[in-house]
């Protein structure tokens, strides 16, 4: 199954998993055991195959799956997708804040080589903006702007709204 293949080729195992995921109905749970049988490989020890298959299902069929701990994958409905995205936003916020705390630990910024100092400050500035934009209080500011919307705000409008 794991033949020599070009980097941009999808492995047979991932294609088999994708084919199985493409048949899952909204709200249905497909077990890791079923997926392992479909691909003829243990998906718990070959997780990259499952990630590739999930990414294909997202890109090609607009299907989102979420792990059910110790059981398998559940295909999410629209409300489930919204909840999953909200969890992602919270996780991104926490990760961003932790990274900014690392920046605070730099002992002598002035002594750093110019390129590394610039890279650090650019990254920290971007992370600061992300931390601000992803904060729960900022989300409240956006609620009024999107309450009756049918799609996300353009970036320029979002930035103007969160100030």
The predicted pLDDT at position 145 comes to 86
- pLDDT-flagged residues of the chain (< 50): 1-2
For the sheet with 29-31, list strands across it: 29-31, 72-75, 65-68
The rounded distance, in Å, linking the Cα atoms of 61 and 20 is 12
The predicted pLDDT at position 122 comes to 97
The predicted pLDDT at position 4 comes to 56
The predicted pLDDT at position 52 comes to 94
Is residue 11 classed as helix, strand or coil in its secondary structure? coil
CA-only gyration radius of the chain, Å: 21
Residue 103 has a CB neighbour count (10 Å cut-off) of 15
Domain boundaries, the chain: 12-75, 84-144+151-162
The predicted pLDDT at position 32 comes to 97
The predicted pLDDT at position 1 comes to 45
The rounded distance, in Å, linking the Cα atoms of 27 and 58 is 15
- The reply to whether CATH 2.60.120 applies to domain 12-75 is no
Q: Which value, to the nearest 10 degrees, does the dihedral of the CA atoms of residues 134, 135, 139, 142 take?
A: -70
Name the residue among 75, 20, 8, 11 with its Cα closest to residue 49. Answer: 11
């Amino acid at each position: 199954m794991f033949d020599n293949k070009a980097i941009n080729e999808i492995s047979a195992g991932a294609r088999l998993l994708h084919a199985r995921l493409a048949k899952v109905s909204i709200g249905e749970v497909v077990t890791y055991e079923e997926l392992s049988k479909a691909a003829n490989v243990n998906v718990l020890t070959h997780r990259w195959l499952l990630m590739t298959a999930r990414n294909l299902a997202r890109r090609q069929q607009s299907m989102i799956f979420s792990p059910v701990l110790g059981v398998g994958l559940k295909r999410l409905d629209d409300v489930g997708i919204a909840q999953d995205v909200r969890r992602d936003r919270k996780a991104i916020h926490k990760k961003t804040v932790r990274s900014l705390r690392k920046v605070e630990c730099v002992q002598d910024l002035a002594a750093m080589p110019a390129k590394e100092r610039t890279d650090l400050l650019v990254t920290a500035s971007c992370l600061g903006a992300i931390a601000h934009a992803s904060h729960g209080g900022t989300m409240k500011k956006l609620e009024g702007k999107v309450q009756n919307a049918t799609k996300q705000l353009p970036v320029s409008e979002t930035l103007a709204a969160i100030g």
